[in-house]
Amino acid sequence: MLKKRVLILTGKAGSGHLTVAQAYQYWLTKWGYEAWVLDVLPPINEKINNWLYKVPKTYKQLFAFSNNKAWARLVTLPSKMEIERRIRKLAPDYKSADMIISTHPLIHPTWGKKRVMTLMDPIVHAVYLVLPRAQHYISFWKDCEGNTKGFGIAAKRVSYTGPLARPLFYENARNLRKNHYKGECKKTLGIAPETTLVLVMAGQAWIYRAAEYLQYFKNIFRKENVIFAFMCGKNKDFAQQMSSKYRRVKMFKILNWLSEEEVCRWMAAADFGVAFSLAQMAVEAGLSKLPIYIFRLIEGQEEGYRAVIEDNGVGMYVPGEPQNQVEILKVLYKHTQTMFGKNLVNWQKELLEAPNRVKKVLEKI
């Protein structure tokens, strides 16, 4: 019997959409499908996205301003023909695919026998939901029903599954059931077991938000047995600048691009995270039982993730200006496990069920 063929369409806007596409590919292949990923978003969209990251207030305003049917339609229309041209070039037989899944809001799957749009965020922007519409919607979060109903999408066409993550994070979750695993990871990274490891997390463009915090971390935590590790992704400029400026500060580790395996190890070793953006990192942290203190996030798009973190009791938003936030963190950090430990176990269990839910939904479709 021939394998069902699934085409996964995505685009780079940060790395979250591409990460989810790759997660789909991994699981679909594991379940016996033939699956492949195509990045079909025109480059101009990534450039616009990167520029908006540098002006957060503009990003928030644009997110809110375009979150209605009329404006969302205008956003999707200009790139529709170019996206199809890119699909046709990369996969000439794309229309014969048994299923096409999109993980990006600008890519509406209107080809293939079955057409699925993935709703990745707790707050579903209108651009996901306008015409041309997919036949089916997979929602990673439970809170989207009000959004889809408002666009005339029948409830039976929307399925909640929970979010997918990169495959090694599920292995990370299983390893963390062993009490000694966190200590082993710290040892591998050259960190003493009794040292508190803080993982400073953000998408590669958003890590710049952490720049003004380093001096406060240095001054306020100077007498604490704490190491701050900054995940810089592919942001080489930030990594080089901070490595040069704080090269003599032993409590800082500036991390360049990390493989999936390395990210898993750092998350497993860390005692908690400090977030300057969330999205997929919140899912990976949850699988790694890593509590999160939210200092900043992408306003508009990521505000729903703050609710997810706080409602599940696996972290909290820390208000105030940078110095105040760091001072509050110093008061709280030694109580992190007491505050969030039990909830992290339940949250990890919930996230581990997502692949099974996705499998059932796709089989049904």
Give the per-residue pLDDT at 81: 86
Residue 23 sits in the same domain as residue 106: yes
143 shares its domain with 206: no
* Domain enclosing residue 216, as ranges: 168-351
Q: Which of 160, 193, 225 is the last residue of a domain?
A: 160
Residues 46 and 130 in one domain: yes
Task: Among 160, 186, 209, give the residue marking a domain's end.
Answer: 160
- 50 shares a domain with 155: yes
Please provide the average confidence, as pLDDT, over all residues in the chain. 90
Whole-number pLDDT of residue 298 = 81
Which position has the higher pLDDT, 312 or 42?
312
Domain match, 200 and 327 both = yes
Residue 233 domain flag: yes
Residue 313: give its domain's CATH number.
Answer: 3.40.50.2000
Q: At which residue do the structure tokens 């993980």 appear? A: 103
Chain centroid offset of residue 4 CA: 28
The separation between the first and the last C-alpha atoms of the chain, rounded to the nearest angstrom, is: 19
* Mean pLDDT calculated for residue range 220-227: 98
pLDDT of amino acid 51: 54
**37, 90 in Cβ contact below 8 A?**
no
Compare 214 and 52 and report the one with higher pLDDT: 214
In a domain, 65, yes or no: yes
> Where a domain ends, among 106, 141, 160?
160
Q: In CATH, what number is assigned to the domain containing residue 59?
A: 3.40.50
Is residue 300 domain-shared with residue 212, that is, in the same domain?
yes
Read off the pLDDT band of 125 (50, 70, 90): confident
Worst-scoring range by mean pLDDT, 192-201, 301-310, 345-354? 301-310
Note whether residue 363 is domain-resident: no
Question: Which range is most confident: 9-13, 46-50, 253-257?
Answer: 253-257
Q: Is residue 358 part of a domain?
A: no
Residues 280 and 339 occupy one common structural domain: yes
Same domain? For 199 and 225 the reply is: yes
- Burial label for 137, CB within 10 Å (0-12, 13-18, 19+), is buried
Query: Within 13 A of 323's CA, how many CA atoms are on the CB side?
Result: 1
How many structural domains comprise the chain? 2
Q: Classify residue 44: in a domain, yes or no.
A: yes
Looking at the structure, tell me whether residues 129 and 224 fall in a common domain.
no
Pairing of the two strands 252-255 and 272-275: unpaired
364 burial level (CB within 10 Å; 0-12, 13-18, 19+): exposed
> Are 261 and 187 part of one and the same domain?
yes
> What integer pLDDT is reported at residue 143 of this predicted model?
63
- Is residue 357 in some structural domain? no
Share of the chain above pLDDT 90, in %: 68
H/E stretch holding 72:
helix 69-90
Pair 142, 224 in one domain: no
Mean pLDDT value of segment 232-254: 92
Residue bearing tokens 């990534």: 46
